Amino acid sequence: MAEYILAIDQGTTGSTVALMDACGRLRASSNHEFPQIYPKPGWVEHRLDDIQKSVQKGIDAVLRKRVCKPTDIAAIGITNQRETAAIWDREGGDALNNAVVWQCRRTTDFCEQLKGAGHETLVRRRTGLVLDPYFSASKYRWLLRNTTGIGRKLKAGRVAAGTIDSFLVWHLTGGREHVTDISNASRTSLMNLKSGRWDRTLLDLFEVPAEILPRIVPSSAVLGHTLGVRGLPDGIPIAGIAGDQQAATFGQACFSIGDAKCTFGTGSFIVMNTGDKPLRSRSGLLSTVAWQLGEAGRPVYALEGGAFVCGAAVQWLRDGLGIIKRAPDIEALAASVNDHGGVEFVPALTGLGAPHWAPDARGTLSGLTRGTQNGHIARATLDAMALQNADILRAMQTDLGKRMKPLRVDGGAAENDLLMQIQADILGHRLIRPAVTETTVAGACYLAGLAVGIWKSPAEVKKIWQSEREFRVQMKAPDRRNRLASWERALQRTLL
């Protein structure tokens, strides 16, 4: 009986392919990186062919491990870097240009023009997103205006556009399916958050023809079948898709209103389940679709906030200041002192994200004395990572109007026990770290498995989800208030 799920986790720097069994155990995994392209300062591109090859290499490598026969694969789930925009030829599937990556800022001037013309409120009201080059819409416009021969191909109906999930499904199905799931569509600035459909007013605003865009489908549903994929039999259902942060939220079993997860990576991403109605943030957060289970299911919405610099602050201590040799060394160095010793580090190295949205802010390191040691700077860095997240989570609680539940954590820096304890103390909430830390892969597998009946409901998925460790609050409330007040003073100096 086919009881394995193949997951494709297509990320910004590489692609991971993994196999999960019906008990929720990851049985094999393989990652392959691909080149990053920086044509100009602030510009970031990917070659679509490089992405496709990295995925195929991952499929080949996982199958070579002989965990199961290819015919034992019941479904495929996909999770992907969000917002990255791609265009390709419907005849043959060849890329018409490099993909414009979510990090790319080349459309900043155009977005500023739209803001100046008074369109920001419209975009936010219809999409739940801020008007920013981060999202896909302005990237599609740039590609349509800067791709050789695009006019002729548009007239011939040969242009297909989409985020990376769409591109992967196109090739996995031999060009038969041009779809995107609702969570990815919600990150384009072109989907109406209430209707779950492409919005004509927004399409006109960003000059994107509706006919080049994919059909919006649920996150968990059979939306196509494999055709002509090396190593895989034809006919395997492609049954789950979600953007990486939404997949991680599903992989953390955040199925109830108020459930939230924080992914500690280069930056940190916090997503909180807000139920079946979009919640408009009044605190500087994004409203987005988390997932939709089946055609008949209602979309589940979420609030999202991100801090631009999280693990990147540790990299700066290593590469910029040279006070540690390896990123993991920060835990021991920070533990060599009792506390931050009055040192405050606001890591606005690339501006500040949610809930402040201050792109021109710059990092500050303050409170230094003759007694300051490297350990104090290391501890202030870990504190800052936790304090930024606390700002976001307090904003989420304000928007939701209720106290948050224990926070589920994942990502590389979540392995740092000291940081996790600091986070629990500063939040005043319990933290839960999962047994399966590859939460984006897990989410893609759960979504696909639900669609083909490996699991009957999210409740069954929740039964197989397991925690590895919990971090309980140890800091007293007065000490927490003092720590937050010190951070707020440092933050205000940064925002001046």
Tell me the DSSP string of 241-305. EEEHHHHHHHHTT--STT-EEEEESSSEEEEEEEESS----SSS-EEEEEE-BSTTSPPEEEEEE
**221 class by beta-carbon count within 10 Å (0-12 exposed, 13-18 middle, 19+ buried):** buried
Question: Which are the contacts of 101, defined by CB distance < 8 A and separation ≥ 6?
Answer: 12, 36, 44, 45, 46, 81, 84
453 domain-assigned? no
pLDDT at 96: 95
Instruction: Tell me, yes or no, whether 387 and 314 share the same domain.
Output: yes
pLDDT at 2: 66
248 domain-assigned? no
Structural domains counted in the chain: 2
* Structural domain range at position 395: 253-434+466-496
44 domain-assigned? yes
Query: Is the C-alpha dihedral spanning 434, 32, 242, 1 positive or negative?
Result: negative
pLDDT at 412: 80
CATH number of the CATH domain containing 35 = 3.30.420.40
Which of 433, 455, 432, 459 has the alpha carbon at shortest distance from 445?
455
pLDDT at 1: 54
Last residue of a domain, one of 204, 235, 266: 235
Asked if omega into 355 is within 30° of 0 (cis), the reply is yes
| 3-state secondary structure (DSSP) of residue 50 | helix
Q: What is the pTM of this model?
A: 0.88
Quote the tokens at residue 204: 């006109």
Instruction: Tell me, yes or no, whether 276 and 192 share the same domain.
Output: no
pLDDT at 436: 83
Instruction: Tell me, yes or no, whether 122 and 258 share the same domain.
Output: no
Instruction: Tell me, yes or no, whether 59 and 156 share the same domain.
Output: yes
Which of 342, 417, 333 has the alpha carbon at shortest distance from 375?
333
pLDDT at 309: 75
pLDDT at 451: 96
d(CA 170, CA 177): 5
Instruction: Tell me, yes or no, whether 46 and 182 share the same domain.
Output: yes
| Ordered per-residue pLDDT tens for the chain, 496 residues | 568 999 999 988 889 999 999 989 999 999 998 888 889 887 889 999 999 999 999 999 999 999 899 999 999 999 999 999 999 999 888 999 999 988 888 898 999 999 999 999 999 999 999 888 889 999 999 999 999 989 999 999 999 999 999 999 999 999 999 999 999 999 999 999 999 999 999 999 999 999 999 999 999 999 999 999 999 999 999 999 999 999 999 999 999 998 999 988 777 889 999 999 888 888 888 999 999 999 889 999 999 988 877 777 888 889 888 999 988 889 999 999 999 989 999 988 777 777 877 767 788 899 999 999 999 999 999 999 999 999 898 888 888 887 778 899 998 888 889 999 999 999 998 999 998 888 999 999 999 999 999 999 999 999 999 899 999 999 999 999 999 999 999 988 888 7
Residues 14 and 34 sit within 8 Å (Cβ to Cβ): yes
**Which residue, chain included where needed, has tokens 């300051």?**
372
448 domain-assigned? no
Within 13 Å of residue 418, how many CA atoms lie on the same side as its CB?
18
Instruction: Tell me, yes or no, whether 231 and 257 share the same domain.
Output: no
What is the Cα 368 distance to its own chain's centre?
A: 35
217 domain-assigned? yes
Instruction: Tell me, yes or no, whether 227 and 376 share the same domain.
Output: no
d(CA 342, CA 33): 41
